[in-house]
Chain A
Amino acid sequence: MSTLWFWIVAAMIATYVVLDGFDIGAGAIYLLAAKTNDERRRVLRAIGPVWDGNEVWLLAAGGTLYFAFPKLYASSFSGFYLPLMMVLWLLMLRAIGIEFRAHIEHSVWQDFFDVVFSVSSILLAVFFGAALGNVVRGVPLDATGYFFEPLWTNFKLNADIGVLDWYTVLIGVMALVTLTAHGSYYVALKTDADLGRRARGFALLCWPLQFFLTFSALVATYFIRPTIMANYRNHPIGILIPIVVVACLAVMLWANPKGKEKLAFIASGLYIAFMLVGAAFALYPVVLSAREHQYDLTIYNSAAGSHGLRVGLVWWTLGAILAVGYFVFVYWKFRGKVQLGEGHY
């Protein structure tokens, strides 16, 4: 039962990153790709009706994590106290950047919120990547099941590890590049003319970086946590995951210059999902690894009671079916290239 919830939570987090990832990525290229007011409004209109729904996946994934693994939630959220609070502030700034800009037609007001939106998007991408890096690398959990980590150290190699160190920053940069590419495909898909062309250009620029960072991250992960390969050795089916990842990279390289934005966007989404699934596969059954492995939080010692988990499966399934229904409906209603006309943004 707890194995099932492990995968449900992993799938919800992956869904969050794939969905909110494209509007965060759109924010990352926003200042450079969209130069005129019209173009900026187009980008905002492309993400406007959906970004809030996308972000709900973070809340729903957080809620589900809390419900299924309360001890993990308690340890990780209090341990990553400062970085999480900064994520919260960035999420707030990003939201008002998107939503408040259109209320006043004044270039100073709009320039201000443009920068707020774009900078907070870029920082969020890096923070989310660093968070993943921390979970993979492990944290100083002790016998009480708690830890508290400094934000950063002196950045020397092999020094005491903080929330931000060389490894987590590497993963953070990888996340930024990945989401920038993802957002670029989305903007290219939803807009045309100069803006669409520029977005395609950004995606093209990101590709070699993404390719290089994917492999450096894998190598770095192997050095930092040699045990990461154990699950792949024991369950060779897992090899399919990196194969899909590489295939997605190839499709992105092939589809983008041919103007097949939709295919490139889907491949980018799958790339993100499978990178995260690959990490989850490698970690299982550990949910938060400790430096000393006897203190690892696993699905066995951090899950909620079995009755609660069984009951949850009933309503979760119902909720998930409804949620997918809403999303299909909303994306279908707002399908196609965006047009500027009357309305918000």
Chain B
Amino acid sequence: MDSALLIHRLHFAFTITFHYLFPELTMGLALLIVVLKTIALRRNDPLYNEAARFWAKIFGINFVLGVVTGIPMEFQFGTNWSHFSRFAGGVIGQTLAMEGMFAFFLESAFIGLFLFGEKKLSPRAHWWSAVGVFLGSWLSGYFIIATDAFMQYPVGYYKASDGSLQLASFWDFVLNPWAGWQYAHNMSGAAITGAFIMTSVGAFYLLSNKWTAHARIFVKTGVIAGCIFSVLQIFPTGDRQGKMVTELQPATLAAMEGLFHGQTQAPLVIIGQPNDQQGKIDNPLQVPGMLSMLTYKRWSAHVRGLDAFPRQDWPGNIPLLYYSYHIMVGLGTFFIAIMAVALLLLWSGKLFNARWMLWILMLAAPFPYIANTAGWMTAELGRQPWLVYGLMRTEDGYSTLVSAGNAMFTLLGFMGMYMVLGILGLFLLWREIDHGPAVPSLSNLQLPTDATGEAR
């Protein structure tokens, strides 16, 4: 591989991977904060308002990091991937510009009101500001997914005389069938991150016997949401996403599953190391016929292996793709298992005293991040060797005039910068968690009653 190409790919991979650690929590928490604020408004319960206020502080720190690491993403389409922008900008420029016009303006306007305007707004108006932040962040997610969906499964375009892609049908492009399920799958993944983080902090407080009233709200909200979204993550969203890959990117499916040779009654590999020199799985543990069943709903169905496709169209890094996919699926299964047990304990009223379960819930916090990252790696490594599936290869898309040395310079710069941001972010988040939900002062307690009287 040309070293400039490698560095430009690492540049984007590194910055997007680090960036996405923040928006997944932003989008997940935005939803859960709306839930907390809705309950607070409905029941006029100040405890839920304090819970929402605590998560707003965490949200604020996380949001800043998401914004600052997000700005480079838009820039890099031009700086590092200029041939790609020239080629596909006439189509994907639509969604990227719409993200700015619809999502970022909405989000940025309401975040100020949401974080700093609680005293200036009535409870209902403040609830609306939380909804505005939620809508903005989830809308932003859709525009990005629609852009990625075009790269995975290009629709709604035509090829202009200069070879570039141009928009042919706005609705075909924006309502790309790939985008729908990918969006549902991705947003459910973000909600899982939010739910696990909320549960984890709650479990930590319960285990340390601090802020127990708030902690119960956190654990309860987090476990219920975590259970719902962990199930949705596998079925229907993950299942449907898998079917799309089977149908539209068959070589990707074969590489993800480590199926080197096409066969009927194809087995599902649970564990094993892909050996792409010899075209087999080492030390496999597999379920016979299961892959045929999952993809085509018939045990006997024939599933095409990598051998059905020319070598130059295979995804470039098969082992990494295979592991990303297996880590994602393995963790997804694990999420359902622990959230189902936690929900049963919650239902029977034992969860808040079941210290062993609280320990598991507390320690589970990093895993949704790993699963979401692995999921995106599966999608983007799976798309290789294409930058726009079937239309442009990755090696033709980067900025050839930006030399490997220049790209390396900025990659190292970003690594240094992000290390500082990461350390500062963790430090500040830890301080907020350590500080806990604020003790309600008298003025805070009076606020809801006064204001609701005037709102109704």
| Distance in angstroms between the alpha carbons of A174 and B202 in the assembled complex | 53
Assign chain B's interface to a size class. Answer: 35 or more
| Distance in angstroms between the alpha carbons of A312 and B102 in the assembled complex | 13
Contact indicator per residue, chain B 103-128, by CB within 8 Å of chain A (1) or not (0): 01110111111011101110000000
Contact present for A78 and B102 (CB under 8 Å):
no
| Distance in angstroms between the alpha carbons of A55 and B100 in the assembled complex | 11
* Consensus secondary structure, chain A interface: helix
- Residues of chain B contacted by A71 (CB below 8 angstroms): 86, 89
Contact present for A89 and B94 (CB under 8 Å):
no
Contact present for B90 and A305 (CB under 8 Å):
yes
- Residues of chain B contacted by A85 (CB below 8 angstroms): 75, 79, 410, 413
Given contacts A78-B82, A308-B167, A311-B167, A63 and B100 within 8 Å (CB-CB): yes
- Residues of chain A contacted by B80 (CB below 8 angstroms): 78
* Given A78-B79, A81-B410, 8 new contacts (CB under 8 A): A53-B112, A70-B85, A82-B410, A88-B72, A89-B417, A100-B64, A103-B61, A304-B89
Interface segment, A237-245, A267-275, A278-286, A315-323? Answer: A315-323
Q: Does B98 contact A (CB under 8 A)?
A: yes
Q: How far is the CB of A58 from chain B (nearest CB, A)?
A: 8
- Residues of chain B contacted by A343 (CB below 8 angstroms): 116, 119
Interface segment, A207-215, A228-236, A327-335? Answer: A327-335
Interface segment, A90-98, A196-204, A252-260? Answer: A90-98
Inter-chain contact total with CB atoms closer than 8 Å: 213
Q: Does B101 contact A (CB under 8 A)?
A: yes
Contact present for A88 and B71 (CB under 8 Å):
yes
Contact indicator per residue, chain B 366-404, by CB within 8 Å of chain A (1) or not (0): 000000000000000000000000000000000111100
| Distance in angstroms between the alpha carbons of A251 and B119 in the assembled complex | 37
Q: Does B68 contact A (CB under 8 A)?
A: yes
Contact present for B166 and A53 (CB under 8 Å):
no
Q: How far is the CB of A292 from chain B (nearest CB, A)?
A: 17
Contact indicator per residue, chain A 51-95, by CB within 8 Å of chain B (1) or not (0): 011011011111110111011011111110110110011011001
Q: How far is the CB of B176 from chain A (nearest CB, A)?
A: 15
Select one of B75, B113, B115, B166 contacting A307, CB under 8 A. B166
Select one of A64, A76, A326 contacting B78, CB under 8 A. A76
Contact present for B164 and A84 (CB under 8 Å):
no
Q: How far is the CB of B352 from chain A (nearest CB, A)?
A: 31
Q: How far is the CB of B123 from chain A (nearest CB, A)?
A: 15
Q: Does B99 contact A (CB under 8 A)?
A: yes
Q: Which residue of A lies closest to B77 (CB)?
A: A66
Q: How far is the CB of B290 from chain A (nearest CB, A)?
A: 44
Contact present for A103 and B431 (CB under 8 Å):
yes
